[in-house]
Amino acid sequence: MSNKMLIKSLKKIEEVINEAHQILDKLNLSSISNDNRRQKMVANAPTTAVSPHKVFGRGNDRDKIIAMLHEKEGDHPSTSNDLCFSVIGIHGISGAGKSTLAQFVCDNEKNKKGHFDLVMWVHLSQNFSVSDIFEEFYEAASQPKDTSEPKVACPQFHNLNTLEKELERKLDGKRFLLVLDDVWCDKDVGDQNLPQLLSPFKVGRRGSKILVTTRSRYALSDLCVGVRYTAMPITAVDETAFFELFMHYALRCGQDQSLFKTIGEEIAKKLKGSPLAARTVGGNLRRQQEVNYWKRVSDQDLFNKRTGPLWWSYYQLDEQARRCFAYCSIFPSGHRLHRDDLIRLWVAEGFIRNTDEGRDIEEVGLGIFNDLLSISFLQLGSWDWNYHHGKEYYLVHDLLHDLAGAVAGSECFRIDNNMSGKAEGWTKDVPRDVGHLFIQSYDATLITSKIIELGNLHTLIIYTVGRDTPVEEIVVESILKGLQKLRVLVIAMALFNPEHVTFIQEPIYSLSQNLLVN
């Protein structure tokens, strides 16, 4: 069958499915449709065990940064080499609340309106491609002011220079605020040229600002070559505000605080001022509103280490939830996770057992997802960009991502990109019994000569296939024939040539075979 005929057939199938749904709705038979039950699951709001996000003890820091964002150009001596923007860097250890503070600042600017023509947020993380980041810049700069309008996706550009020129056109003459979240030092990101990331922003209006969050102050000097910057260490939250933060996540709305105040103070002291620990431990205590249980928790020796509270929180999960969380380590740090896709992956892997009669297995998965959300093992995507192409997304904090990798051990493995864009990682001794494998970029030789030898593989995710790169039939055939235990196959194609089969948005899912193919 030719590609054109295949596309035409897929469209016909989609039309038939849509017509069938309309008939079911008119006959009021939606209760017998698995798809409709799934749609009900998607519509469910997050569990009530999840505390609303709130910021404590950051008011002074926020006001200090806002004052720097709004400072007049005359406050600093000008030179002929002055750029239209300057950089403010928030630095500190992981889990200290840098991104939360940046979000707090952005919320203020969003509500004020008027000073900045454009406010953008882009998460950088350790491994990044300059072209991918430029695409995110383009999308962030193109978003409509009316949030009800659809998001704008970056169109296809033939080279990085063209993309940069188009991005400059978007930014030309605008006073912008850009947040670069989680910037790493050059020594931690290989040979990537951090200053190149700032090159498109020279055309903005004077008074523009870039707000950076980073673990290391040295990342700022790596990024800001020839750019004026101010480094601001993240301050510790005072004891009173930290206790309020902890109790906010530890107690349910309307719960009498007096019963738990004294013991809550003892637990909060052992968390060593870590906001992330306050959220994870507090989220677990929120599910157990018993004084005796809180007393037992206060005696935990695990709290002696900085990551101890996270390990303790992990061991409060049941076996199914632990496996689902550990599976998240297959994705790179900072990877955007979509709830329904993640739940379907868990189901296809057989991680979830339906123990309640009449309960849909994906509803059980939703419960596990909400449990992880309630203790902040999963967190809603940053600030105003909670919708990526119209889909809500979630993140795993770096410290928790490290925890997931530690508990997963050799079960999960990633083959990341080197600077040439080729997959690398076989020099890192890929475990021969690995069960779940994530490959950053498509490499036909790697797959046909190496991957098919991994006989215990249950998951194969090929995250990026070039827009002009065909996936050879022999490669797919070798995967399906050689990997007999495979349950999940994801080949993320981004093809814009109408002569090719385009990316299929929804996975083809068969519960009877426990197989998920995307």
The two structure tokens encoding residue 44: 């469910």
Rounded to two decimals, the pTM is: 0.76
Q: Which long-range contacts link 106-114 to residues 24+ away (Cβ below 8 Å)?
A: 106/177, 106/179, 106/383, 106/384, 107/383, 108/62, 108/66, 109/66, 109/69, 109/177, 110/384
What confidence score (pLDDT) does residue 481 get?
87
**Strand (E) or helix (H) holding 515:** strand 515-517
What would the pLDDT profile of 388-439 be if each residue is shown by its tens digit?
444 678 999 989 999 999 999 989 998 876 533 455 544 456 788 899 999 8
Query: Domain boundaries in the chain?
Result: 3-43, 59-72+82-233, 239-316, 320-517
- Written as six digits, the tokens of 225 are 């070559």
pLDDT for position 475: 86
Q: What pLDDT sits at residue 150?
A: 60
Q: Are 378 and 394 in contact (CB under 8 A)?
A: yes
pLDDT given at position 281: 93
Q: What is the pLDDT of residue 381?
A: 79
CA pair distance 357, 41, nearest whole angstrom: 17
Q: Which pLDDT score, from 0 to 100, does residue 464 have?
A: 77
User: What is the β-pairing status of strands 208-214 and 176-183?
Assistant: parallel
Q: What pLDDT is attached to residue 357?
A: 64
- Helices and strands (DSSP H and E) totals, the chain: 18, 15
d(CA 241, CA 94): 19
Helical H runs in 186-303?
218-223, 239-250, 261-270, 275-286, 291-298
- 134/373 Cα distance (integer angstroms): 30
Given a contact cutoff of 8 angstroms between Cβ atoms, the answer to whether 272 and 305 are in contact is no
For position 442, what pLDDT does the model report?
83
CA distances from 483 to 348, 451, 479 (A): 16, 9, 6
Q: Which residues contact 204 (CB under 8 A, 6 or more apart)?
A: 84, 85, 171, 172, 173, 174, 175, 176
DSSP designation for 64: H
CATH 1.10.10.10 for domain 320-517, yes or no, is: yes
**Fold adopted by 59-72+82-233:** Rossmann fold (3.40.50)
Reference 303, options 260, 262, 269; nearest CA is 269
Neighbour count for residue 515 (Cβ, 10 Å): 15
Shortest CA distance to 178 belongs to which of 126, 136, 222? 136
* Residue 183 to residue 216: CA distance in whole angstroms: 8
Block means of pLDDT (10 residues each) for the chain, 518 residues, are 73 75 56 40 45 81 93 51 86 90 87 83 82 88 68 78 91 92 78 83 92 92 91 92 93 79 91 91 90 87 70 92 95 89 93 76 92 92 49 87 92 72 53 89 84 90 76 85 90 49 34 43
Query: Which DSSP string do the residues of 154-197 spell out, in sequence order?
Result: PPP-SSHHHHHHHHHHHHTT--EEEEEEEE--GGGSTT--GGGG
Sign for the CA dihedral angle at 284, 288, 294, 296 comes to negative
